[in-house]
Amino acid sequence: MTRSMMTAIRHALTVTREADFAAWYQEVISEAEMAEESGVRGCMVIKPWGYGIWERIQKLMDARIKAAGVDNCYFPLFIPLSYFAKEAEHVDGFAKEMAVVTHHRLIQDGKGGLVPDPEAKLEEPLIVRPTSETVIGQAMSRWIQSWRDLPLLTNQWANVVRWEMRTRMFLRTSEFLWQEGHTAHADKADAMAETLRALEMYRAHAEDDLAMPVIAGEKPENERFPGAVATYSIEAMMQDGKALQAGTSHYLGTGFAEAAGIRYQDRDGQQTLCHTTSWGVSTRLIGGVIMTHGDDDGLRVPPAIAPHQIVILPMLREDEGDAALLAYCEALRSELSAQSALGEPVRVLLDKRAGKATQKRWAWVKKGVPLILEIGGRDAAGGQVSVVRRDRLWNEGGKVNFLAQNRDEFVAKGAAELEDIQRALHFEATSRRDAQIHRGITDVAGLESFFAESKRYPGWVELGWSRPTGAALEQVVATLKALKLTVRNTPMHAPAPGGTCVFTGQQAVETIYVARSY
RNA sequence: CGGGGAGUGGCGCAGCCCGGUAGCGCGUCUGCUUUGGGAGCAGAGGGUCGCAGGUUCGAAUCCUGUCUCCCCGACCA
């Protein structure tokens, strides 16, 4: 019964998540008009709907950053090679994926083209920032002299470039947009507190703003940021069961401070190295939102980050009735905009572009607007609105689930409905994730057989391990790699698991999540 | 960076093997009909066949190079 109803539905996309998750992901981005190819390897054009979501993420994240007392700055795109070369592990981590500027002028090549002018070679090459620890460290070394200057809390919103071998829209692009927080502290305790504050900020943003459940925890040693003493992440589970690292926060110790000379005179008059941190989230979050909330009809945007939360579609008929209908819709838009949802004015678009309302409707469905209102002449005359919730698009009969409601009643409860959608998306994603976390595997053979089974979307495995380091960890990483698995993180505040380590047989001291990942 | 696949109107594709005026579906535009839900009929517009060389009387088609995208791998905050 259910099956026949399901197959009767004509979805807005041509590829389902079940049929081909990677193709589905790309179709969502294309059909929701979020981004497109640019012609430059690994770089994308972010279109208004995709960028609008990013602007929402920026706005909400920026408020959280500022609330923590962190000030925004801007540092240069170009970093002198010599700055970058100072921190050895950092160099090892990034050298292979660097864009380098070597010339400052072009000349005619005599064949109608242009080439870099050999006469205009830069004395010192500039790298295009892959991250800004080094250049911000240089500034910090100038800005910090005394213990009174600490902590120094900065952030910048910027683009960065990493020459990735393999790219995927939003998830891994050669150029991406992000924020990078950089802080300097008097001691380790203060720096660690900041590192964990940022982690908690990211967890709250993901859960509350993106409705994307995450597990916050510490990365294993082999997954640390190049040059970091400790790296923490938030990890989200996508609908195909893979893990997505959705944000990171690093305690950098004194290594970067040493490289850049970030020192302060302490209360005893001694020159002392600062302890620094860095933390970031990027446009990758948008990929996470797609793979967390998207369905076979396109994206579903959580109301908190939806550029438009409600779209009103007048069923224009190009006759004398249109004026009255538009007036009705405009009044509706105005009243809804005066409401407040999720702590902000409700964002309402009256889409009165020419075109059939039904076609425009499917465009908004694919974009994932939380509430779509289609208003016809009869609604206007009867004081009604026809509303469909994007998260409940289909009714049991396989039809679009429009619900006629009294206009004034809808105005009164529209904001609450948006908040309910935000909750519903979070609940749905959390339930799905929890159902796909598997426990009870006690040895490597069990792990192998679990992932060897032809499960389409195996999800994550929660294990206890002995937190091996060095060569022992390398052994574990190799074992996991053979299964295409990685250790995601050790969740914060998790009790000691008890039992023995799946890999070493020693006492298990930590809980970890093991998964395939993006 | 290695292996595989692909690039032809806005989108999806055929044509290529076997060189001879660039086609189809959807969408777009116009008109008529229809009108509470992804409309019908008729007509029209729209393409440097990724790019650059080469072979040829003639290249979407054959050859060489190159760029970009997708999948797998390696790599990867």
Q: What is the pLDDT of residue A7?
A: 46
Strand-pair partners of A463: A512
Q: What is the mean pLDDT of residues A66-82?
A: 96
| Range of lowest pLDDT (A111-115, A293-297, A320-324, A487-491) | A111-115
Report CA(A437)–C1'(B75) in Å, whole number: 28
Report CA(A357)–C1'(B42) in Å, whole number: 24
Closest CA to B36 C1' — which residue?
Answer: A376
Report CA(A40)–C1'(B7) in Å, whole number: 15
| Range of lowest pLDDT (A48-62, A103-117, A283-297, A412-426) | A103-117
In this structure, what token pair is assigned to residue A336?
A: 């809804």
Task: Kindly tell me if the per-residue pLDDT of A363 is higher than 90.
Answer: yes
**Strand A344-345 relative to strand A340-341, pairing:** antiparallel
Say how many C-beta atoms besides its own lie within 10 A of residue A102's C-beta: 12
pLDDT, tens digit (0-9, with 9 covering 90-100), for A98-142: 999 999 988 887 766 788 888 899 999 999 999 999 999 999 999
pLDDT, tens digit (0-9, with 9 covering 90-100), for A489-512: 999 988 888 889 999 999 999 999
Report CA(A311)–C1'(B36) in Å, whole number: 18
* Residue A493 DSSP one-character state: T
Confidence of residue A20 (pLDDT cuts 50, 70, 90): confident
Where in A321-383 does DSSP place strands (E)? 340-341, 344-345, 348-350, 371-375
Q: What is the pLDDT of residue A453?
A: 67
Q: What is the mean pLDDT of residues A201-222?
A: 97
pLDDT, tens digit (0-9, with 9 covering 90-100), for A48-72: 999 999 999 999 999 999 999 999 9
Which of the nucleotides lies closest to A96 (Cα–C1')? B75
Which of the nucleotides lies closest to A31 (Cα–C1')? B11
Task: Kindly tell me if the per-residue pLDDT of A6 is higher than 50.
Answer: no
Q: What is the mean pLDDT of residues A317-328?
A: 87
Task: Kindly tell me if the per-residue pLDDT of A427 is higher than 50.
Answer: yes
Q: What is the distance between the alpha carbons of residues A387 and A403, in angstroms, rounded to a whole number?
A: 5
Render A227-288 in DSSP notation, one character per residue: T-SEEEEEEEE-TTS-EEEEEEEEEEETHHHHHHT-EEE-TTS-EEEPEEEEEEEETHHHHH
Q: At what angle do helices A284-293 and A407-435 cross, to 10 degrees?
A: 100
Q: What is the distance between the alpha carbons of residues A15 and A8, in angstroms, rounded to a whole number?
A: 15
Report CA(A32)–C1'(B25) in Å, whole number: 22
R_g (Cα) of chain A, nearest Å: 26
Closest CA to B34 C1' — which residue?
Answer: A317
Which of the nucleotides lies closest to A355 (Cα–C1')? B28
Report CA(A164)–C1'(B25) in Å, whole number: 37
Task: Kindly tell me if the per-residue pLDDT of A305 is higher than 60.
Answer: yes
Report CA(A284)–C1'(B17) in Å, whole number: 44
Q: In what order do the strands lie in the sheet with A460-465?
A: A437-438, A460-465, A510-515, A486-487
Report CA(A172)–C1'(B69) in Å, whole number: 15
Which of the nucleotides lies closest to A282 (Cα–C1')? B77
* More confident call, A189 vs A166: A189
Which of the nucleotides lies closest to A382 (Cα–C1')? B36
Task: Kindly tell me if the per-residue pLDDT of A454 is higher than 80.
Answer: no
Which of the nucleotides lies closest to A169 (Cα–C1')? B69
Q: What is the mean pLDDT of residues A208-235?
A: 96
Q: Give the domains, in start order, of chain A with CATH numbers.
A: 21-293 (3.30.930.10), 308-419 (3.40.50.800), 437-515 (3.30.110.30)
Which of the nucleotides lies closest to A131 (Cα–C1')? B77
Q: What is the pLDDT of residue A303?
A: 98
In this structure, what token pair is assigned to residue A440?
A: 């009870």
Q: What is the pLDDT of residue A291?
A: 96
Report CA(A457)–C1'(B27) in Å, whole number: 35
Q: What is the distance between the alpha carbons of residues A109 and A211, in angstroms, rounded to a whole number?
A: 54
- Chain B footprint positions (protein CB, under 7 Å): 1-2, 27-29, 35-39, 67-77
Closest CA to B74 C1' — which residue?
Answer: A165
**Strand A152-161 relative to strand A71-72, pairing:** parallel
Which of the nucleotides lies closest to A10 (Cα–C1')? B38
Q: What is the pLDDT of residue A124?
A: 92
Q: What is the distance between the alpha carbons of residues A302 and A60, in angstroms, rounded to a whole number?
A: 13
Report CA(A430)–C1'(B46) in Å, whole number: 48
Report CA(A163)–C1'(B17) in Å, whole number: 39
Please provide the average confidence, as pLDDT, over all residues in chain A.
Answer: 93
Report whether A217 contacts A200 (CB < 8 A). no
Residue type, A25: Y
DSSP-based helix, strand, coil % in chain A, nearest 5:
40, 30, 35
Closest CA to B77 C1' — which residue?
Answer: A225
Report CA(A28)–C1'(B38) in Å, whole number: 18
Q: What is the pLDDT of residue A3?
A: 38
Q: What is the pLDDT of residue A55?
A: 97
Report CA(A165)–C1'(B1) in Å, whole number: 7
In this structure, what token pair is assigned to residue A119?
A: 């006469």
Q: What is the mean pLDDT of residues A147-157?
A: 97
Share above pLDDT 90 across residues of chain A, in percent, rounded to a whole number: 79
In this structure, what token pair is assigned to residue A497?
A: 């698991």
Q: What is the pLDDT of residue A452?
A: 77
Q: What is the distance between the alpha carbons of residues A496 and A19, in angstroms, rounded to a whole number?
A: 40
Which of the nucleotides lies closest to A223 (Cα–C1')? B77
Which of the nucleotides lies closest to A225 (Cα–C1')? B77
Q: What is the pLDDT of residue A345?
A: 98
